[in-house]
Structure 1
Amino acid sequence: MDPTFDVVVVGGGPAGATAADDLARRGRSVVLLDRAGRIKPCGGAVPPRAIRDFAIPDHLIVARIRSARIVAPSGRQVPMPIEGDGYVGMVDREAFDEWLRGRAAGAGAARRTGRFERVSRDTDGMAVVEFTPPDGTLARLRARSVVGADGALSAVGRQCVPETRRTPLVSAYHEIVRVRPGTPDYDGARCDVHYDGRLSPDFYAWVFPHGDTASIGTGSARKGYAPREAVAALRRRIGLEGAETVRREGAPIPMRPHRRWDNGRDVVLAGDAAGVVAPASGEGIYYAMLGGRLAADAVEALLATGDARALAGARKRFMREHGRVFLILGIMQWFWYRSDWTRERFVKMCGDPDVQRLTWESYMNKELVRAKPVAHVKIFFKDLAHLLGLARA
């Protein structure tokens, strides 16, 4: 008979590795199944709350971001410094993800390398995860529960959670380049965000420092969009056209949480597979790790009680904590990113001190700031003025 485990986690990114680590630390028998050599295109931003909540060690932080610079289609630049001694950590996903997988293995999760094929059912009805290891054979693992953390185009989700609706996707692409010391107009402690229809017609382009390298990327949901050409144009614009390219990566990014994350029996989704990437910003690492933790909690409840309704708790808890933020960010992206006219006004709005303060506080702590209602009212009317074109751009 095939070996039986409490949990098989499919996908070894931040969501899957976190779920595997949490469940292994609870004494569950866990297999973490991941494809070899896959690195997701990602700016690598990790807010302070993620560092605290998930015990991310200092050596994985390759840069500390103290400010952002927002660039409009006209070339207008708006600085957004972080107050006090706060910072956003930057990680290199190649090293970061592997460290997370290693931590899960250290907690007792068994690692397997291979391509997920399908979830079938044994004669007793138990889930069987079938995958193809590097030797090309077909391997099988019996599982009391399955966590699907295998990305935006999740094969686990497509097969096991048919209620999962089609989610809008942004095709993201970036190039990791080596940055020489003294490069003009480049600051290793600053993220640059370009809102420009020539670089992305409906999203944004970025330059995110990673120590001696930088992630230069862009994304769009438009068909026919050419991200490589856009990144080449951005590199020319910032003077890094001739910099050494370390690697190139591309992948879809979901822009909306799925309506359902579980099959009502023994499978639950997490991370990109569940659609939890923030609209407007495209931020995913914190939300992926949180989704992995919530999936682990739901699986633990299932294994402890046998009640499959516990799996729905992962999505319920996530949406209760962050659904409002996702709704607001989705509205922002729909309106402000649709033309260079609106992008120009959005960048001007980002120069407002109240907007900057509440933006950073909400981002760093991953919650809406409720302690300053007067500031929220001020921002509402300022935002309305920009939206109606009453504020001068």
Structure 2
Amino acid sequence: MAQPAEFDVIVVGGGPSGATAATDLAMQGHRVLLLDKAGRIKPCGGAIPPRLMRDFDIPAQLLCAHANAARMIAPSGKVVDMPIEGGYVGMVNRDTFDEFLRERAAKSGAERRKGEFERLEHQADGPTVIHYVDSEGHAQQVTARYVIGADGARSKVGKQTIKGAEKIPCVFAYHEIIAVPETLSGDFDPSRCDVYYQGHLSPDFYAWIFPHGSTASIGVGSAQKGFSLRGAIKDLRAASGLDVNETVRTEGAPIPLKPLDRWDNGRDVLLAGDAAGVVAPSSGEGIYYAMVCGREAAAAVSEALATGKVSALKLARKRFMKAHGKVFWVLAIMQHFWYRSDKRRERFVQMCADPDVQYLTWQAYMNKELVRAKPAAHARIFLKDMGHLLGLSPT
């Protein structure tokens, strides 16, 4: 007779995706273990849309800042401001935000343990065994019927169980958290997100300065090997007058920019969040999509537990891509065309000055879906977009 599992589900990784999955599963009455490596804070601009606040019941006090505009900076130094009409970009600190989500999972009934995943073992006639090292360095093991791997872009769970997971394309991100004094320095605005599309700061992505209340995130991403991310941040801080500000901490990590073709192993493992590759191309936005992915993973695993059909695990990717795949496709095309040279970046920033572009961009960001209410605006943007790409529009 098969030995019973200690848990229905083990969630490896306590970021937004894993913590959301653990919360949803625990609230449904499942036996859940949330296994998280302590002390890690992911480099992240920390931007979240109003829809995330609504869909995941996030209290307003978790926001460290509200941004009511974005500033796009072209290679030439030209600036385009994009005010947000009727909305905002919420900013969170990942240390406090992620811990809130983990604590909510625990309050919902999930058991929390601090430890680092080592390997997964399949038994011929029994539950899946998870081997991990606890916070004191001791080897431990625990059993479960299903495992959700939410352990980041270089997921150990994924590499061991999902074909192709080790080949996920990534941008490497690095940022520095700086202190913001009461007397502001440089051109920093605590209510604005600044995005730099300049090849010397990132040859294939962008750099940013995002407000975080008493601190700010200054970051950059690039997939180009050998490019100095630290050097780019040093240059950006000097150019923006923020080189005199105290550096609170620094962080770096790979950020995936393409969803994996498969998220489950057809048996007992399902990936979620960065491990599944659900970071939006072009923008690099990941928190909202990670939490949606975690919710879909929880729903799929719950269905597998209820029916005994492992084919239910495939539903997580199917449902996520149905809801967001078209947005990811559009953003991937944008990144491919507009981030390839400073000439194209210049035209991209110029295009952002268009009122139609600004309206549809902010509506899509805040509501997390393509806006269909203004077909004429879409047509105008398409024509302008092609004109800029072909060099037919004036610079």
| TM-score, length basis structure 1 | 0.98
In 2, Cα distance between the equivalents of 1:216 and 1:175? 5
Identity of aligned residues (%): 62
Q: Which amino acid in 1 is paired with 2:168? A: T
In 1, Cα distance between the equivalents of 2:197 and 2:151? 30
Structure 1 stretches lacking a partner, 5+ long: none
Q: How far does residue 185 in structure 1 lie from its aligned partner after superposition? A: 1.6
- Cα contact 2:36–2:114 (8 A) shared by 1: yes
Q: How far does residue 135 in structure 1 lie from its aligned partner after superposition? A: 2.2
Q: How far does residue 392 in structure 1 lie from its aligned partner after superposition? A: 1.2
In 2, Cα distance between the equivalents of 1:34 and 1:162? 24
1:181 aligns with 2:182: yes
Q: How far does residue 123 in structure 1 lie from its aligned partner after superposition? A: 4.7
Higher alpha-carbon deviation: 121-130 or 238-247:
121-130
- Cα contact 2:208–2:219 (8 A) shared by 1: yes
1:342 aligns with 2:344: yes
Deviations 1:65-120 (A, max 9, x none): 10000000100000000013x11110000100011000000001101111100110
In 1, Cα distance between the equivalents of 2:54 and 2:267? 33
Q: How far does residue 186 in structure 1 lie from its aligned partner after superposition? A: 1.4
Q: How far does residue 164 in structure 1 lie from its aligned partner after superposition? A: 3.5
In 2, Cα distance between the equivalents of 1:135 and 1:98? 20
Q: How far does residue 276 in structure 1 lie from its aligned partner after superposition? A: 0.2
In 1, Cα distance between the equivalents of 2:215 and 2:272? 30
Structure 2 counterpart of 1:244: 246
Deviations 1:188-225 (A, max 9, x none): 11000000001000000000000010000001000001
Q: Which amino acid in 1 is paired with 2:88? A: Y
Which secondary structure does the structure 2 equivalent of 1:248 belong to? strand
Deviations 1:43-82 (A, max 9, x none): 0001011110001111100000100000001000000000
Q: How far does residue 7 in structure 1 lie from its aligned partner after superposition? A: 0.4
Structure 2 counterpart of 1:360: 362
1:316 aligns with 2:318: yes
The aligned runs of 1:70-219 (5 Å cut-off) are 70-84=72-86, 86-164=87-165, 166-183=167-184, 184-219=186-221
- The CA RMSD over aligned residues, in Å, is 1.1
Structure 1 counterpart of 2:60: 58
Q: How far does residue 167 in structure 1 lie from its aligned partner after superposition? A: 2.0
Structure 2 counterpart of 1:264: 266
Structure 2 counterpart of 1:371: 373
1:291 to 273, 290, 293: 293
- Cα contact 1:20–1:30 (8 A) shared by 2: yes
Higher alpha-carbon deviation: 51-60 or 176-185:
176-185
- Cα contact 1:173–1:227 (8 A) shared by 2: yes
| TM-score, length basis structure 2 | 0.98
Which secondary structure does the structure 2 equivalent of 1:114 belong to? strand
In 1, Cα distance between the equivalents of 2:181 and 2:146? 48
In 2, Cα distance between the equivalents of 1:199 and 1:283? 19
In 2, Cα distance between the equivalents of 1:162 and 1:120? 16
Which secondary structure does the structure 1 equivalent of 2:392 belong to? coil
Q: Which amino acid in 2 is paired with 1:251? A: A
In 2, Cα distance between the equivalents of 1:260 and 1:25? 27
In 1, Cα distance between the equivalents of 2:115 and 2:166? 27
Q: How far does residue 182 in structure 1 lie from its aligned partner after superposition? A: 3.1
Which secondary structure does the structure 1 equivalent of 2:97 belong to? helix
The number of residues matched between the two structures is: 392
In 2, Cα distance between the equivalents of 1:309 and 1:165? 23
In 1, Cα distance between the equivalents of 2:51 and 2:252? 27
Deviations 1:280-305 (A, max 9, x none): 00000000000000000000000000
Deviations 1:148-168 (A, max 9, x none): 000000000010112437221
- Cα contact 2:5–2:145 (8 A) shared by 1: no
Structure 2 counterpart of 1:235: 237
Q: How far does residue 2 in structure 1 lie from its aligned partner after superposition? A: 9.2
In 1, Cα distance between the equivalents of 2:182 and 2:379? 44
Q: Which amino acid in 1 is paired with 2:59? A: P
Structure 2 counterpart of 1:304: 306
- Cα contact 2:117–2:131 (8 A) shared by 1: yes
In 2, Cα distance between the equivalents of 1:336 and 1:171? 19
Q: Which amino acid in 2 is paired with 1:283? A: E
1:222 aligns with 2:206: no
- Cα contact 2:9–2:146 (8 A) shared by 1: yes
- Cα contact 1:277–1:284 (8 A) shared by 2: yes
- Cα contact 2:158–2:275 (8 A) shared by 1: yes
Q: How far does residue 136 in structure 1 lie from its aligned partner after superposition? A: 1.9
- Cα contact 2:5–2:127 (8 A) shared by 1: no
- Cα contact 1:177–1:213 (8 A) shared by 2: yes
In 1, Cα distance between the equivalents of 2:124 and 2:200? 56
